[in-house]
Every structure is written in structure tokens, then in C-alpha cells.
Amino acid sequence: MVLEATMICIDNSEWMRNGDYSPSRFQAQADAVNLICGAKTQSNPENTVGILTMAGKGVRVLATPTPDLGKILACMHGLEMGGEMNIAAGIQVAQLALKHRQNKNQQQRIIVFAGSPVNYDKKMLEMIGKKLKKNSVALDIVDFGEDDDGKSDKLEALLGAVNNNDSSHIVHVPAGQSALSDVLISTPVFTGDGDGGSGFAAAAAAAAVGGASGFDFGVDPNLDPELALALRVSMEEERARQEAAAKRAAEDASRQEKGEEPSSKAEDATMSDANVSAPEENKKITNDGDANALLKQALQMSMNISGSSHSVGDAEMLDTTSEDQELALALQMSMQESTSNPSSQADESKVLEDQSFVSSVLASLPGVDPNDPAVKDILAALQNQSESQQKKSEDEQKKSEDEPSNENK
């Protein structure tokens, strides 16, 4: 939160056309400049930032130190590349611009982007550095782009002459995968001198790194709450699904002889429902450990989603163990493609013949239209395969429907 007036010296020489930084050196530089301006103005509302170009026809001040971020971003438009960078003149003009800042209480800082070769000798640069130090101007140097012999040494010498109590920094950015701005975000150029940096800088850094240190999914909940929520929900669902799959594998191994596969499959069926509360239900189910209670809960889950009128009737049907297995398997069938238990397959076909039940379940599946002729054909084929079994289940259904109707009276 240091009160600061900053002058940014941009290199717009011919060397900036090179594409070793994507998309081009100049564009990478412009992005970095925009980010720095934002960070500076956010860290303290009274901070001012100014821009000047060092190449072209000569050193030209595009914007004198101003707190208006919009003006700064606007003057970054339409910049042309050409000529050679004049670093000494650029720094001196920047120093003059800072001297005439309106608020004399601001600390003075110059940020130089040195992308092209430096023509001045070390002595000259050291003298400039000394002059800056004498006038208590801090200097940040971004060494990128051309890397001819001596450029790094010269810039280091300049930094050494200017540096007073570590208020000045130099950053060497080699060409490569990561963008110039990303590399700069983690440096003191962006974060300031050990203040801890501004919230802006920290958030930008988190977003850039991919959310490892900042937000969970690389999306700032402040910027996009719906997206962050959707990502979080889907992450939880996936986690729950994986947990259920792991549990199922464990339970299959341990409980296979007890024939409690239907219960585990029922759990699995509920897991695959698109419902965040499903994992919590699942945990409840496993804690109970009672097969009937498990099935009851599982069925209630599925019934809530399918919204069929059978909900009460089906709950009643739990009394008969054969019904338990059929319905549980029905759930599993409706939600999942493959079944590993051969004995359950015969039961599955029975349940499929319960047309209304199946169609209601199918309706709950995304992308499946029960009125689709193809789906209808399949169902008809399944029904024809075992009519006797269908009759038997219908009788049982009538019996159970009588019961709730009696209760309602």
C-alpha cells in the first residue's frame, strides 16, 4: 500500500516484432504493462502511473502520471514499432516526469522494459543509476527479448548503482512457454517491496498459476460465482461417484456370499443420480447396515427423481423380499448399462416389463425420450420375452396397491 508514482518505459523498437514470446514480444509487453498498471492503481487509490516509449522517433511521453487506469490503457492502443531503444534518455525523461508529479508525497519509481540491445556502456548506466539513487527514485528492470553479450551485465550494474535498501529489482525473463505477464506476477515488480502485495496481484497470480494457491478451480468466485458453483458441484458429484465405486468394489468383495449385492447396487444407482445430497444419503445408508433400510432409502431417492405415483406402492412392496430384489435391480438396470451378476438378469427383465415404472424411470434419464419409437420397440421386445413373469408381477402389484388404498381410507 505504498503511495507511489510510477513511470513505465516501454520498448517499442523493431526488435519487438520477434515472436519468441507469444504472440509477439510487443504484445506480451503490452499485457504485462496493463497488468502492472492495474496492480499499482488497485494497491493504493492515490497511486499514479505514467507511460512513455523509448524507441520510435525519440522518447515520447504517452501519459503523465495519472490515477486514471482507463486513460493509461487507452494510450497503449495504436502504438507502432520502429527505431532503436534509447534507454538512457528514456530513464532521464521518466525521472523528469516524476519530478513534476502533482503529489510530492508519492515515492518515485521507474519500470523499464528492456527488450532490445543496450547501446550504452556500463559507466554511463552507472552514472544514471547514481543520479536516480541520489534523487531517491527506485528502478525496476524487466530484462527480456534480446540477450546479447553484456546486456545482462550492464543492467545488473545499473541496478547496483540505483539500488537503495532493496527497493529496486531486476527480472530476467527468458523466452519460453510461460507468458511474460505470468512470470512477472510472482516477482517484486508486481507485488511491491515485501508489503505482501495487493489483493489484485494475489488474485491474478492465483488465476494464472491455475488456482493451486488461490481458488479451487482457477475461477474466482467473485468474478464468476455461477461457474465456480457449477464446477464445485460437479467436482463433488464426481468425488461421490468415485467413492461409491470404491465402496462397491470393497463391499462386493466382502459381501458377495451374503447376497447383498442388490443393496450395494441400489446404493450405486442412487449415486449416479444427479443429486448432490446423494453422497450424504449413501453415507447414511452404509452406516445403517440394514439391507431393508438401505433399500428403502435407495428407493425413496429414485422415486423422488422419477416422480411416479408408484412411490407409496413401491414402498409397501418392500415387505415382500422378491419385490425388493426386483425393484432394486430395476434401479440398477435403469441407471447402469452393465451388470456382473448373472442371476439378477432374469429378474431385471421382469421388472422391465413394468411398463409405466420403466417409462417413468426412463423419463428421468437425460436424453432418453420414452415416446421415442426405438425405445418403445425395445421395451416391447423385452416384454414379449417373458409374459408369464409379467403376469405374476402384475398380480403382486394389485395386491400392494390394494393395501395403500385401504390405508388411505
**Given the complex with another protein, which of 96 and 233 has the nearer CB atom?**
96
Is-contact 169 140, C-beta < 8 A? yes
- Taking the least distance from each CB to another protein, the nearer of 50 and 197 is 50
Nearer to another protein, 164 or 300 (CB): 164
Which of 102, 119, 135, 345: binder of another protein (CB under 8 A)? 135
**Are the beta carbons of 113 and 32 closer than 8 angstroms?**
yes
Q: Each residue of 28-53: b (16+ CB within 10 Å) or e?
A: bbbbbbebbbbbbbbbbeebbbbbbb
Give yes or no for a contact between 357 and 330, defined as CB atoms under 8 angstroms apart. yes
Candidates 126-134, 304-312, 314-322, 378-386 — which segment interacts with another protein by CB under 8 A?
Answer: 126-134
Listed in sequence order, the residues at least 6 apart from 342 whose beta carbon sits closer than 8 Å to its beta carbon are none
CB of 134 to another protein, least distance (A): 4
Answer yes or no whether residue 102 interacts with another protein by CB under 8 A: no
Quick one: which segment of 73-81, 131-139, 217-225, 352-360 binds another protein (CB under 8 A)?
Answer: 131-139
One character per residue 41-80, x = contact with another protein (rule: CB under 8 A): ----------------------------------------
Binding segment toward another protein, per CB under 8 A, in 160-168, 189-197, 226-234, 243-251: 160-168
The span from the CA of 104 to the CA of 302, in Å, is 71
Among 130, 258, 283, 391, binds another protein (CB under 8 A): 130
Which residues, other chains included, contact 384 with Cβ-Cβ below 8 Å and sequence gap of 6+?
Answer: none
Which residue in 119, 136, 256, 343 binds another protein (CB under 8 A)? 136
104 binds another protein (CB under 8 A): yes
Residue among 94, 88, 133, 127 at smallest CA distance from 110: 94
Nearer residue to another protein within complex by CB, 135 or 322 = 135
Contact indicator for 360, 303 with CB cutoff of 8 Å: no
Is 134 a residue that touches another protein (CB under 8 A)? yes
Q: Is residue 99 near another protein by the rule CB under 8 A? A: yes
In sequence order, what E strands does 129-174 have?
A: 137-143, 169-172
**Residue for cell digits 512513455?**
52
Q: State how far the Cα of 321 lies from the Cα of 314, in Å rounded to an integer.
A: 12
Size of the residue set binding another protein (CB under 8 A): 12
Contacts for 399-408: CB closer than 8 Å, 24+ residues apart = 400/313, 400/316, 400/317, 400/323, 401/313, 403/316, 404/312, 404/313, 404/316
Should residue 123 be labelled a site residue for another protein when binding is judged by CB under 8 A?
no
- Binding string, 3-42, against another protein, x = CB under 8 A? ----------------------------------------
The yes or no reply on residue 165 touching another protein (CB under 8 A) is yes
CB of 158 to another protein, least distance (A): 13
The edge-to-edge listing of strands for the beta sheet with 48-53 is 60-66, 48-53, 4-10, 107-114, 137-143, 169-172
Give contact residues for another protein (rule: CB under 8 A).
96, 99, 104, 130-131, 133-136, 161, 164-165
